[in-house]
Structure 1
Amino acid sequence: MAETTPTYERTVPRILMCEPTFFEVSYVINPWMTSHVHDTTAERAQRQWDALRETVQRHADVVIQPAAAGQPDMVFAANAGLVFGNSFVPSRFRYDERKGEEPHNHAYFARHGFDIVELPDGIFFEGAGDALFDRGTSRRLWMGHGHRSDLEAAPALARLLDIEVLPLRLADPRFYHLDTCFCPLADGYTLYFPAAFDADSLALIERHVAPAERITVDEHDAVAFACNAVNLGRVVILNRASPDLRARLEAAGFMVIEVALDEYMKSGGAAKCLTLRLDEAMDA
């Protein structure tokens, strides 16, 4: 599939996805990968990626980034970096296995006219996997740290992007990125797995999210990556939701769409990991 160019005249959401051409589990850098090295099927991975792309395309413009040989996790576009307005903050990966993605992502966003905003040297930051914009009335950024991204990235992002950044410490190694256990939804609702956070971070969430807008998930939904969801307006696209969670999301006014992504869960990712929002507006 040829590279597609972002377009900006439409007001619908814009989502980046990276082709799964080279996806496989060929190393272990998170607990999900441990028993799945060389246990993925290219045809099944392609079918699931295509199904997600087709689902997202019904609610957003999808831009396709070509994959790079030797970078099996590049398909997880959320980790390319963070977009805010026309600024792109590229990721700086903690593990050597993913560092090879960095020049490809830097070149792609520079080629498409984004201003590249670099974090200070020595700070690890894994993009929109650990940095999620609140979708309520307050314009703030939630930032996960403790496994992949450094706490020091929070004040650096606040300074570089002139935005409030709220750091959340991740306590469970299974939920190594913020987007595996926390998903801001439209109108201030927040979907999250409380056990993934330490006590101070839970208190921070509760201080900024009203009780009626907190949608907590149990462990059985969390390990099905229900929080690793793509929210487009009142649509929530995810791997799987229990009947109880689906009912609570629907009661809050959301339409839930399930897209099976178990092939990608072998590598520790699902719907949100496979997408990157390109239209995070400065004045939203």
Structure 2
Amino acid sequence: MSSTLDAPIARPAAEQAAAPRTPTRRRYLMCPPRHFAVVYAINPWMDPSRPVDQALAVAQWTALKEAYQRLGHTVEVIEPQAGLPDMVFAANSGTVVDGRVLGARFRAAERAAEADHYRRWFLEHSFRDVVMPTKINEGEGDFAWTGRVLLAGSGFRTDPDAHAEAQEVLGVPVVSLRLVDPRYYHLDTALFVLDDRPGRQEIAYYPEAFSPGSREVLRRLFPDAVLASPEDAACLGLNGVSDGRNVVLPVEATGLARQLADRGYQPVMVDISELRKSGGGPKCCTLELRG
């Protein structure tokens, strides 16, 4: 399992910004929040005493789905299941690279049943290379494919041993990163990939969410990464989705949006405040189906 590479992944920021940004069409899996609620607390964002407007959550999710479709992306939808209020967070259901699927195994008992519903969806939709994990991993919540390496988070949810399992199942090099701030309990709350094309890999992240050693690894691999402010991290601004040009962000992440626009990206702002009551944002609702 890789922990570092010999050379930086991305080109310098000035060269990146000068090159035209071109989107690539993506295929996503989403789950409508028809059963969304906050009835338990498994992360610091969740407070069952705060009222949840379920109709508003559905409206915000629908607007997110329609934003992807307007950008030319394909959105597949899985049927939500009663009793699984967090099933809306499809990113946690697995990791798909080149058509290979590593399923999820959740740490919290409240979410455990989601894994098999998603497993069946993969098999029913022509994904034949589907492996369910033996170690706890929460899918793209803690795995981020950069196009060259799989960045893998641990510290709160996914087991460190799951990183080696992901490398074996998906056949890609894995770089382990340790999260240290419980507010950023998944990797996708503190980091996301802006561009995954060869020679143009670029990420954005919040350094304070990571251990000192992990920060140094990210600095070496991505010396010109976009670094988010505490304010943008605090609204889950790093829970974004990019197609290489268009970057879908929470509407509150204005500073991050300005940084991305300066580099030639096109921010697409969405309101997903209701789902944030469960610690989710655009990426949490979105699993990318690669290959």
Give the Cα separation in 1 of the matches to 2:179 and 2:168: 23
| 1:86 and 2:95 correspond | no
Segments of 5+ residues of structure 1 without an aligned counterpart are: 1-10
| 1:262 and 2:264 correspond | no
Which of 151, 159, 166 pairs up with 2:168?
159
Which of 188, 205, 218 pairs up with 1:205?
218
> Per-residue CA shift, 1:198-245, capped at 9, x if unaligned?
00100110111123xx11111111011110001112010011354432
- The 3-state SS of whatever aligns with 2:157 is coil
CA contact (8 A) 1:24 1:38 kept: no
Give the Cα separation in 1 of the matches to 2:254 and 2:122: 40
- Map of 1:64-79 to 2, 5 A cutoff? 64-79=77-92
- TM-score norm. by structure 1 comes to 0.89
Segments of 5+ residues of structure 2 without an aligned counterpart are: 1-23
Q: Indicate the residue corresponding to 1:104 in structure 2.
A: 117
Letter of the structure 2 residue corresponding to residue 56 of structure 1: Y
Letter of the structure 1 residue corresponding to residue 53 of structure 2: T
Post-superposition offset of 1:46: 0.9
Post-superposition offset of 1:88: 1.3
- The 3-state SS of whatever aligns with 2:192 is strand
The verdict on how the C-alpha distance between 1:243 and 1:106 changes in structure 2, with shifts beyond 3 A counting, is closer
CA contact (8 A) 1:36 1:267 kept: no
- Map of 1:202-281 to 2, 5 A cutoff? 202-211=215-224, 214-279=225-290, 281=291
Which of 182, 188, 191 pairs up with 1:179?
188
The verdict on how the C-alpha distance between 1:229 and 1:242 changes in structure 2, with shifts beyond 3 A counting, is closer
Give the Cα separation in 2 of the matches to 1:152 and 1:48: 36
Q: Indicate the residue corresponding to 2:178 in structure 1.
A: 169
| 1:188 and 2:201 correspond | yes
**RMSD of aligned C-alpha atoms?**
1.3
Give the Cα separation in 2 of the matches to 1:76 and 1:17: 8
| 1:17 and 2:26 correspond | no
> Once superposed, which parts of structure 1, at least 4 consecutive aligned residues long, lie more than 3 Å away?
241-244
Q: Indicate the residue corresponding to 2:66 in structure 1.
A: 54
| 1:132 and 2:144 correspond | yes
**Taking CA–CA contacts closer than 8 Å with sequence separation of 6 or more, which of the two structures ends up with the larger relative contact order?**
2
- The 3-state SS of whatever aligns with 2:184 is coil
- TM-score norm. by structure 2 comes to 0.87
Q: Indicate the residue corresponding to 1:5 in structure 2.
A: none
> Per-residue CA shift, 1:95-123, capped at 9, x if unaligned?
1000011111111111112121132x3x1
Give the Cα separation in 2 of the matches to 1:243 and 1:32: 21
Q: Indicate the residue corresponding to 2:132 in structure 1.
A: 118
Q: How many residues align?
A: 262
Post-superposition offset of 1:194: 0.5
CA contact (8 A) 2:102 2:170 kept: no
Q: Percent of aligned positions with the same letter in both sequences? A: 38
Letter of the structure 2 residue corresponding to residue 159 of structure 1: E
Which of 138, 142, 151 pairs up with 2:151?
142
CA contact (8 A) 2:232 2:254 kept: no
